[in-house]
Structure 1
Amino acid sequence: MARTAVTVTDLNAATSVADPAGTNADPSNGHTVNGVRPEVLVFRVTNTGGAAANATLKAGAQPLAPSSGQGDLVVSVPASGAVWIGPTESARFLQPDGSVALDLAAGFAGKVTAFKVNRR
């Protein structure tokens, strides 16, 4: 099955952004972000469940991701809490199609939000 696309919220200097709603957690298919250079990509993952659950930033594939041998980055998201993951790194997380992939543990409930942090 296709991964769930996550809309990216652009954070620009000297402006404000309303807090985005995020994309509903999809532990069955995982999530993907396309068209954003990983070095400027940050995820916010919220957990609305009663127990901590893992979010996994998937290692990429060679030759695009020469540091993919470091493996996935697994982060525990606390019960009724949130974590921020990133900025990500092309050398470790870039997928063959140019995307970045995030998986959630089975039964995960919450939201995934992606932010593009523009650099000057």
Structure 2
Amino acid sequence: MATTQVPYSNLVANSSLAQPAGTTLVAAPTNDMQISDAVPEYTVLRVSNTDDDTDLDITVKAGDNPPALAAGQGDLVVTVAFGTTRFIGPFESGRFIQPDGSMMIESETTTGTITALRIPRSV
């Protein structure tokens, strides 16, 4: 199974960020999407569904225990209506972090984009 990397677009404290292009969605079960070196508590996903007549489901996969002690709560599935954009997150490490420190995401279609936004730590 192929894995598509979804890089972080870092939000900047007290500043701005131009709209990132995002990564084209890939469809499960033949492909997954991965955020390497994820920081779930500072991660928000921006998912755009560019289809003109079909909703899509985005699945943030539960991690493995350990390290994800709350993985038993299961996957998070969010429906993105056709022609819309949804922001999903932030997330709990205890539910979604994978043993290799990544987060895994699945989509049922390729009609859209996903952007992983990383929220900065502010003091």
1:25 CA displacement: 0.7
Indicate the residue corresponding to 2:48 in structure 1: 46
Task: Tell me the matched-pair count.
Answer: 119
Partner Cα separation in structure 1 for residue 40 and residue 55 of structure 2 = 26
Partner Cα separation in structure 2 for residue 80 and residue 104 of structure 1 = 16
SS state at 1:102 partner: strand
1:78 aligns with 2:81: yes
Indicate the residue corresponding to 2:59 in structure 1: 56
**What's the C-alpha RMSD, in Å, of the aligned pairs?**
1.0
Indicate the residue corresponding to 1:14 in structure 2: 14
1:34 aligns with 2:36: yes
Structure 1, unaligned runs of 5 or more: none
Indicate the residue corresponding to 1:23 in structure 2: 23
Partner Cα separation in structure 2 for residue 115 and residue 60 of structure 1 = 20
Partner Cα separation in structure 1 for residue 25 and residue 114 of structure 2 = 6
One-letter amino acid of the counterpart of residue 13, structure 1:
A
User: Which of 79, 88, 91 does residue 88 from structure 1 map onto?
Assistant: 91
User: Which of 111, 114, 117 does residue 115 from structure 1 map onto?
Assistant: 117
Structure 2, unaligned runs of 5 or more: none
1:73-119 residue CA offsets vs partner (Å, 9 max, x unmatched) = 000000011111100110000011100011001x3410010000012
